């Protein structure tokens, strides 16, 4: 599979090295959208998964509406814990007046060399035509949050 | 021996629209998804109750979203009329 949902292996190591700071006043994180089947800009195809280490333009969708190369800035939900699980999350992100077909996304650290955090697989192509493309993040709790360490 | 934890990436939901923004119904769905999550492991009668609550909540949100959009349009129309933009105000009123 060209885009496989995963928390990137390099990210797990970088957590131990203190590379990523999800605090409200910490690092800036972004979400970029990707296409399969040559749907990326310049007819490229994304290959993203656990082995992804950083943001790449290969397979990224073309600029459209409010979507520009590199994707959109994410609003962080401060890390917290519940029971024995630590988790963090982001606010929903929307691209407007955009014509987009995307199969997945990459969350990456815009502050620290675009280092990859996790890959999101939409499982099917999601398309907006001159419309809104919204990525809704899960509820910020120990069972659903986008990044959880149990 | 110590326990090795697990790290997981959660699942996102994608909502899209064509030729304009998201509809009231889509926004109500997004809001309900944030408020109510129902475990697949929950007993059937609990799931049924939760689903009924979810539908009720969605209807309430939908109603107030409609109201919010209509009221905002009303405010915009009034601002345009005050600025002498009668044609634009009428166009927005018909949306």
State whether B16 and A149 contact (CB < 8 Å). Answer: no
Residue A59 Cα, gap to closest chain B Cα (Å): 19
Residue B6 in any domain: the answer is no
Confidence of residue B1 (pLDDT cuts 50, 70, 90): very low
Q: How far are the Cα atoms of A31, A68, A110, B16 from residue A54, in angstroms, in the given order?
A: 12, 18, 10, 27
Residue A128 in any domain: the answer is yes
What's the structural domain count of chain B?
1
**pLDDT of the residue at A42:** 83
Q: Which 23-52 residues of chain B touch chain A by CB within 8 A?
A: 30, 33-34, 37
Phi, psi for residue A135 in degrees, rounded to 5: -105, 115
Residue A28 in any domain: the answer is yes
**pLDDT of the residue at A18:** 95
**pLDDT of the residue at B40:** 81
B18, exposed or middle or buried, with CB in 10 Å at 0-12, 13-18, 19+?
A: exposed
Q: Is the pLDDT assigned to residue A86 strictly greater than 50? A: yes
Boundaries of domain holding B80: 24-32+42-93
**pLDDT of the residue at B95:** 82
Residue B37 in any domain: the answer is no
Q: What is the pTM of this model?
A: 0.89
Nearest neighbour of A146 by CB, restricted to B6, B9, B17: B9
Tell me the per-residue pLDDT of B43-54, one tens digit each, with 9 for 90 and over: 999 999 999 999
Nearest neighbour of A138 by CB, restricted to B5, B10, B21: B10
Residue B46 in any domain: the answer is yes
From chain A, the residues in CB contact with B12 under 8 A are 105, 120, 122, 135-138, 146
**pLDDT of the residue at B5:** 60
**pLDDT of the residue at B22:** 95
C-alpha gyration radius of chain A: 15
Confidence of residue A40 (pLDDT cuts 50, 70, 90): confident
State whether A132 and B16 contact (CB < 8 Å). Answer: yes
Q: Is the pLDDT assigned to residue B24 strictly greater than 80? A: yes
Residue A1 in any domain: the answer is no
């Amino acid at each position: 599979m060209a885009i496989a949902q995963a928390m990137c292996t390099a990210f797990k190591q970088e957590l131990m090295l203190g590379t990523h700071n999800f605090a409200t006043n910490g690092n800036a994180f972004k979400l970029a959208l990707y296409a399969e089947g040559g749907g990326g800009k310049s007819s490229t195809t994304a290959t993203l998964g656990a082995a992804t280490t950083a943001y790449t333009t290969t397979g990224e969708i073309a600029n459209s509406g409010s979507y520009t190369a590199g994707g959109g800035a994410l609003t962080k939900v401060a890390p917290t814990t519940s029971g024995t699980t630590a988790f963090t999350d982001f606010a929903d992100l929307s691209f407007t007046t955009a014509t987009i077909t995307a199969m997945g996304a990459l969350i990456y650290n815009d502050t620290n060399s675009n280092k990859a955090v996790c890959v999101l697989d939409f499982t099917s192509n999601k398309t907006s035509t001159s419309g809104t493309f919204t990525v809704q993040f899960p509820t910020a709790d120990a069972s659903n949050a986008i990044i959880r360490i149990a | 021996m110590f326990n090795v934890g697990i790290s997981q990436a959660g699942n996102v939901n994608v909502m899209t629209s064509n030729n304009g923004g998201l509809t009231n119904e889509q926004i109500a769905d997004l809001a309900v998804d944030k408020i109510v999550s129902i475990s697949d492991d929950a007993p059937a009668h609990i799931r049924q109750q939760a689903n009924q609550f979810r539908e009720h909540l969605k209807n309430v949100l939908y109603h107030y979203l409609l109201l919010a959009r209509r009221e905002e349009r009303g405010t915009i129309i009034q601002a345009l009329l005050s600025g002498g933009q009668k044609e634009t105000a009428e166009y927005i009123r018909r949306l």
